[in-house]
Amino acid sequence: MNLVLRLAWRNLWRQPRRTWLTTGAMVFSNVLLVFMISLQFGMYRLMIENSLQAFTGHMQVQAQGYNDDKKMRQTVPDIVPLASALRSQLDSDEVAARATAFALASSEERSYGIAVFGVEPRFEPHVSSIPGLVREGRYLDSNEAPEIVIGKVLARNLRVQVGDELTLLGSGRDGSFAAVVATVVGIFDSGVADLDRTIAEMPLGLFQDVFYMRGSGHQVVVNAPRLGQVAELKQRVAGLLPEDQGLVVQDWDALLPGLKQAIQADISSAVFMYAVLVILVAFSVLNTQLMSVLERTHEFGIVLALGLKPGRLGRLVMLETAMMGTMGLLLGALIGGAVTAWLGIQGFTMPGMDEMGAKFNLPSRLHPDVTIASLLSGPAVVFLFSLLASAYPALRIRRLHPVEAMRSA
């Protein structure tokens, strides 16, 4: 260790209690930040993945304006050929066409308004987890058969079982009366309350007949291999669309604006909380370093008189802070990382997590995951603000006059 480093280090331990208390404040905040940030971002990822996987998908090709109004006649023409063209051009199976309508579904005993989707039974399993979540019966397997798959809650509300018939009444694309009788072949349980209560899926071919779609549909779902590649894929898909049909690609945050905004709202309140913590630590550092500078006025006077430049003393103070900050960062990241990783393996739950989880598609046991970013981002900010806070005491040294400084006790 060179002399300056050694000097700074020894200065820190002239008042071990004070140094530990200041470092303690950093460690406390850092542990909290590491845990909270890991938990938060793990939660967001789950929220997004669970919400998108189930049904929405990463992006959808739609008619211009459909995303806002969801009107029956805002259609994508010749949707099956389009989907198949995209599949071959993207060299991916994760492309599937859908059409949708609202209908009154009636069983023997009950009637409910539902959203009925026409899907491509071959490709739907590649873009949605619903086909894999059929708990009773089977998923659709033909493109024309009068079959339907419904959610668990809807099945309960309608009092139907696999093999029962449902009558769907609605209006077709042109506003005319549309009706069909279909057999329930499967009941799915996605765990997402909204889907399980309101959604039914039938073969797209049947749907197009019943609702007078004339080969059109409403959305082509396209999934990217990873969430991070959505933007890039969106560009590619947009480039592949036929020019003159007014089609657009909507990515997941446009499709589910609530999801992104819920996350944003949560992030902003979290940022407020983190900022307060960081500022409190900065105050602690400011206090400690200012005191440590004032105590050493006499001693600083001597070295200034010996010809040392005030700037070097200022750097010494900054170096002391940096050392303290490094201890805080390392200890905080270490303890925070260990605690979080342990909770990540064990999983933990909070009171009320069941209800909150159901609302946001989260499991009732949370497993925060520690990443480099979640481990270091909080502590790094604390470190930075600590340095910033000690700038004032460091700059004060420039105002010292050697003789006066030496005279002071």
**DSSP-based helix, strand, coil % in the chain, nearest 5:** 60, 20, 25
Which residue number, 244 or 355, has a Cβ lying nearer to another protein?
A: 355
Strand-pair category, 147-151 with 177-188: parallel
Tell me, rounded to whole angstroms, the distance of Cα 330 from its chain centroid: 27
Q: Give residues 246-265 in contact with another protein (rule: CB under 8 A).
A: 257-265
Which residue number, 283 or 342, has a Cβ lying nearer to another protein?
A: 283
What gap in Å lies between CA 170 and CA 100, rounded to an integer? Answer: 11
Q: Which of the stretches 24-32, 52-60, 79-87, 315-323 binds another protein when contact is defined by CB under 8 A?
A: 24-32
Helix (H, G, I), strand (E, B) or coil at 63: strand
Identify whether the C-beta of residue 20 lies closer than 8 Å to the C-beta of residue 328: no
Interface mask toward another protein for 4-23; x: CB under 8 A = -----------x-xx--xx-
365 touches another protein by CB under 8 A: no
273 touches another protein by CB under 8 A: yes
Which residue number, 99 or 259, has a Cβ lying nearer to another protein?
A: 259
Q: Of 1, 2, 91, 109, which lies in the binding site for another protein, with binding defined by CB under 8 A? A: 109
What gap in Å lies between CA 61 and CA 241, rounded to an integer? Answer: 9
277 touches another protein by CB under 8 A: yes
Which residue number, 43 or 82, has a Cβ lying nearer to another protein?
A: 43
Using alpha carbons only, give the angle 135, 137, 140 rounded to the nearest 5 degrees: 105
Which residue number, 112 or 212, has a Cβ lying nearer to another protein?
A: 112
Q: Give residues 278-337 in contact with another protein (rule: CB under 8 A).
A: 279-281, 283-284, 286-288, 290-291, 294
Q: Which of the stretches 78-86, 184-192, 213-221, 267-275 binds another protein when contact is defined by CB under 8 A?
A: 267-275
77 touches another protein by CB under 8 A: no
Query: Around 281, how many Cα atoms within 13 Å sit in the side-chain half-sphere?
Result: 33
What gap in Å lies between CA 341 and CA 304, rounded to an integer? Answer: 49
175 touches another protein by CB under 8 A: yes
Report CA dihedral (275, 277, 282, 284) to the nearest 10 degrees. Answer: 160
Tell me, rounded to whole angstroms, the distance of Cα 404 from its chain centroid: 58
Q: Of 11, 62, 75, 107, which lies in the binding site for another protein, with binding defined by CB under 8 A? A: 107
What is the closest distance, in whole angstroms, from the C-beta atom of residue 216 to another protein in the complex?
A: 16
Task: Give 348's DSSP letter.
Answer: B
Q: Give residues 191-210 in contact with another protein (rule: CB under 8 A).
A: 198
| Total residues at interface with another protein (CB under 8 A) | 71
69 touches another protein by CB under 8 A: yes
Q: Of 9, 13, 272, 342, which lies in the binding site for another protein, with binding defined by CB under 8 A? A: 272
Which residue number, 143 or 198, has a Cβ lying nearer to another protein?
A: 198
399 touches another protein by CB under 8 A: no
Measure Cα distances from 173 to 73, 177, 182, 388 in Å: 6, 9, 19, 64
Residues for the chain: how many in total? 409
Strand-pair category, 134-137 with 199-203: unpaired
Which residue number, 68 or 91, has a Cβ lying nearer to another protein?
A: 68
